[in-house]
Every structure is written in structure tokens, then in C-alpha cells.
Structure 1
């Protein structure tokens, strides 16, 4: 497979151990993650050449975050370092009736203050076959939005597949530009998007009739009409039973046809953070490995389901572990 390149912020994640609440904690477990970087790391773990582009603070925390992803096999040769801080987020992992909660502390990070001109995208993407970004990245700052636009423009010049998880985070858009103005020209350069009906309404004003029998299909068709470059739309559908019990299915609309998987039942959930990143990384892998859209979607959804059983942001699974789940083997029997 050709290299997959992702672009976005990496943050430090701090969590109380053993399902403690933040107010009870006397220590915090440390790991690192970011929506785009999680995709690169999951693909690298599956044996796909993957690179991540970011901007870190030029001190020990920036080096620690970069080292975490390098150890997972992610190519970070094109990251930038500059003065500033590393974004943080605090995760309180819920259980049963108590929901998980996240507190962000990411304002004015080194990534938010990056210089778009520092990234030579034609050089960065020269050996790549795929570029992936999320809607979180252009939400962070005008500079990050410009760098995202530059990356997409370079990918289009080079004939590289572009995907995006539009992932609308209303509270992130604080720098004076509206998501509804910034996101459409970025999404217009994409071949594949992860998008739900809610995000399509919030970002693009695409509405689905309440009486629609197939709301995801109706939304996808409208999205493709508005952005003709888009050829595939994917998403997951969740039936959350509790903080410890999820059911998810995958959905794909492509070339006028709708595909869906059965629901995967996940109980207990160990960690749901990164489930969406695992879905798109699984689809990138599956779409380049299997012969049919059904197989690619099944692999992606099984990969996402497995991520819910793994602590941390990143899906540390191999294709050999995903494929039995993809084929319906969910017994969880001891393997030895």
C-alpha cells in the first residue's frame, strides 16, 4: 500500500485510574492522542506506511508526544517544533449509568499557532497515496484551517485520494470564523467523507425529511450533489445501552448503492475514545485490501468495535485480529 498521511493536533490525555472520578484522583495516567494521528497510528500498527504531520512545542512534552507515535511506527519526519504548549485533555471514564466526561485544556497550543508556510505539502505528499484530515483541525485556528486547505490543494494536484471525518465540534470554533464558511471549500476537495445526518445539517444545511425511509442515503445523495468530488460517504450508527455497553453498525453509500453491517455488540466497553478514528482507519485499510465495498465496511466496523475493548486513543489491532470479528466470530474465546 502507498503511504497514508494525516494532519492534526496531538494532545496529552490524562485519566484517573480504575474508573475514579477526577475529584477522587491522586494520580493520572498519561497517554497521547489526536483524531487524525490516531488514524495514522492504527494504520501503522496494521502494517500500512503512515505519516503524521503536526506542530509540537519544542520542550520535553512535545518530544514525549512525538516519541509515543514514533514507537508505534508513525513517520513524523515532517512535524514542526516551535515555542508554546501541548494541548491537554482530561478523561473521566464512566461505567454503567455514569457517562464518561472530557475536560479540554488546549487553547493557544503550539499547533494552534503553527505557521502554514512551514509545511511544504508537495514534498510531504510526494510518496503518499492518501491524505486524511478531520474537522477538528480547521476548528482550532485560522492558521490550522489554512494549512488544511494547503494540504488538500496539494493532494488534488498530485492525484491523491483525500478523506475527511467532518466531526463538527461546535465549541472548538472560537477564533472568529464559522464552520459553515470554512468547512464547505475543504470538503469540496474530498473523495470520501465520514458524515452523519446531524453534521450534514449543522455544517452544510443539508436536511433530511422526517418521513424519510433512508435518512443516511438521502443525506449522502444531497452531499454528493453539492460536492461532486465526493464518491463515498460512510458513518457508524450507535445504540448506546450504557457507558459500558455499546452497539454499533457501519453504513456506506457509494455509486448509488447503500451498504450496512449488522450491529456489533460491545459489552463491556473498555474505552470508546478513538472509535471513530478506528472506523475510518479500518475503512482506508479495507478499501485497499478487499474486493468489495461490503468487505471494506465490515472490516472498518469490526475494527471500530475492537477499539472499544482497548484502553487509550489508538486501535492496537492487526488485520488478523479484525478479520474473525468481521466474519462474525465474536466468541472472545481464549487464543493460545
Structure 2
């Protein structure tokens, strides 16, 4: 894998507005919903900018007041927005009804016919988009939006691979989005895996592209080994595992497998989760930043895991932590005040 000292990381995906009901309330029983600008790839790009790395957001916004306000928000996070374009359509939304104690939360997507969802491969100028970049990040959420969007993402990733640009791919499986258009994930996921150098996913994700029976899809790391043997460009597979005991109490663990090493974190327990949304994106951002900063392999997982853990203390889709907070995070110290 090629690692650069000053990378510009391109992130391709939809910019969304999240509307959340207050804790303990139904969506339509609340007189007010809180708003957050997010989306899987934007969450990663925002974290990377916060971690001191130049990042470019590639997306399409509606050409209306809401779309232009979203652009200002993205630019305000320190991101390169020269490839954040405007077109006819609407802004994608999703609604969150938070869980409480043992009551599970719920997500309702409202993304059909958004300006981004109308993108086609012919509209993707890969040379222009990737100019000056040496890393590309895409997630499975983008592939799940429809065939044209998926093929656009794959076209961009294939161009990156041809130009020896690192590609990170987070499976981020969203069954509701695939089902909305009857998409079959496996063929699209396999094409992305063929371009990727770093993948975020677990055995159940890898099973979709490796034609492995469910009986072998355990957490034994077997499928990570199989994936590394199957896809020559692939160099690392990272996994974040979550067990939810109740809405506010989660158990988290991380794993990293490369061609030379395997590493696992200790499981930790978070007793008072503020907001779990974007935790996986923070893990991805910590992983990408650690590779880009040329850190030792044994440190990469620790920083990615710290990035994810810290996100659970921030409300909103994207983490607000700094790289210093990630790099100096001491799990044993917990939330003690730094003096």
C-alpha cells in the first residue's frame, strides 16, 4: 500500500439531513426535531479534516436554499468543496427515532429521487475528481442507493485503482436501501473489493462476496484471510463489533488483519452512550488517518478504535474529537478530567 505524508483524501457519497426526535418521543409526537448534516462519507471526511488531513467531499446537492446551506455547512468543516455540485432534485433526508433503555431506535429513510441519487456514471469525470488525491473513500451506503449510483462509485474506484490511489471501502450494509430498488448487493460489492486496499467490514459482510456458507462466517478471522488471498490489491481488513445491551449501554471491540499481522482490542463497555450514529464512520476515519500518517501497524487499530469510542460522546453524525484526543486516548483513564 502506498502511504503519503500529505494525502488529500476524496470521499464520494450523499450529503444528508438527519432529523431526530428527542429521547423518549415518537417522531410525530414531538413539537421539534433536531437537525444534523451528515452522511456516511461526509462523516468520514469531516473527521479527517478535524484530524488535520486535507479531505475533499464529492457529492451532488439540490440547487435550492437547503442545498446551498448544506454546502456552507460542509465548507465550514474545512473540507474541499470544489466537487460539491448542484443539480435539480431534492436533499436526501433520514429520520431518527432514538431508542430508550430496552426499546430499540428506528431509522426512516427519505432519499428517493434526491439530487445525488440521480447521478449517472457518464456524469463522473474521474480525472477531474481525483486530481491531487491519493486516497478515495466510499461506503456501501452509496452503492445501496441504486444501480446508477453504484456504478458511478465503482467507476470512480476503478479509476483510482488504475492510478495507484488507495481505496478504502466500508461495507456499511443498509438492507432497507437495497430492498427499496430490489438491488442484489454481491456483484457490486465484489467490484468494489477488487479495487480496495483497505476494507471495513466483518465476516458477515465478507460472506456476501466470498460465496462462503454461513456456517463458516464466524469471528475466527477465517474470512479475512480468504479475502486477502482472493483480492490481490487488498492489504488490510478492519472490523468493529458492537453488542447493544440497552440503548445507552454498548460493548465495543475492534480487529485489524493485514498480510503480516492480526490485532484485537480489549472489549470495552460504554455505560452512557450519547449518540451511536456515525460510530462506524469515526472508526473508518481513525483507520484512514492512521494509515495516512504512516503509524506503526500495532498503533493503527488503537487509534481507529479510540476514534470510534470517542464519537459515542458527541451528538450528531460526525465526531468532534481532535487528533490529539484520539492519539492520547487512554481507555484505562476513562472520562477523568485532564488537569
**TM-score band, normalised by the shorter chain?**
over 0.9
Length-normalised TM-score, structure 1: 0.93
Ranges in structure 2 where 5+ consecutive residues have no aligned partner = 1-5
For residues 252 and 186 of structure 2, the distance between their equivalents in structure 1, rounded to whole angstroms, comes to 28
The correspondence of residues 14-53 of structure 1 with structure 2, limited to 5 A, is 14-53=19-58
| Change beyond 3 A, Cα 1:113–1:216 | farther
Q: Partner residue of 1:111?
A: 116
Q: 2:291 aligns with which of 273, 287, 301?
A: 287
Q: Partner residue of 2:239?
A: 235
| Change beyond 3 A, Cα 1:216–1:256 | farther
Length-normalised TM-score, structure 2: 0.93
The correspondence of residues 186-335 of structure 1 with structure 2, limited to 5 A, is 186-207=192-213, 209=215, 215-289=219-293, 291-325=295-329, 327-335=330-338
The correspondence of residues 9-88 of structure 1 with structure 2, limited to 5 A, is 9-88=14-93
Matched position secondary structure for 2:135: strand
Residue pair 1:165, 1:195 contacting (<8 A) in 2 also: yes
For residues 322 and 329 of structure 1, the distance between their equivalents in structure 2, rounded to whole angstroms, comes to 14
Residue pair 1:84, 1:110 contacting (<8 A) in 2 also: yes
2:145 paired with 1:140: yes
Residue pair 1:264, 1:302 contacting (<8 A) in 2 also: no
2:100 paired with 1:98: no
Residue pair 1:15, 1:90 contacting (<8 A) in 2 also: yes
| Change beyond 3 A, Cα 1:181–1:331 | closer
Q: Note the alpha carbon deviations across 1:79-109, whole angstroms, 9 max, x for none.
A: 2211111111111122221222111111111
Q: Partner residue of 1:163?
A: 168
* Shift in Å, 1:69: 1.3
Q: Note the alpha carbon deviations across 1:166-216, whole angstroms, 9 max, x for none.
A: 122222124354212222112111111111111122344234645x8x734
Say what the alpha-carbon RMSD is for the aligned residues.
Answer: 1.8
2:223 paired with 1:182: no
Residue pair 1:208, 1:219 contacting (<8 A) in 2 also: no
Between the two structures, name the one with larger relative contact order (CA 8 Å, sep ≥ 6): 2
Residue pair 2:286, 2:303 contacting (<8 A) in 1 also: yes
Q: Note the alpha carbon deviations across 1:62-82, whole angstroms, 9 max, x for none.
A: 112222211111111112211
| Change beyond 3 A, Cα 1:102–1:85 | same
For residues 146 and 300 of structure 1, the distance between their equivalents in structure 2, rounded to whole angstroms, comes to 29
Q: Following TM superposition, where does structure 1 have runs of at least 4 consecutive aligned residues deviating by more than 6 angstroms?
A: none
For residues 306 and 263 of structure 2, the distance between their equivalents in structure 1, rounded to whole angstroms, comes to 15
* Shift in Å, 1:256: 4.5
For residues 95 and 293 of structure 1, the distance between their equivalents in structure 2, rounded to whole angstroms, comes to 38
Matched position secondary structure for 1:215: coil
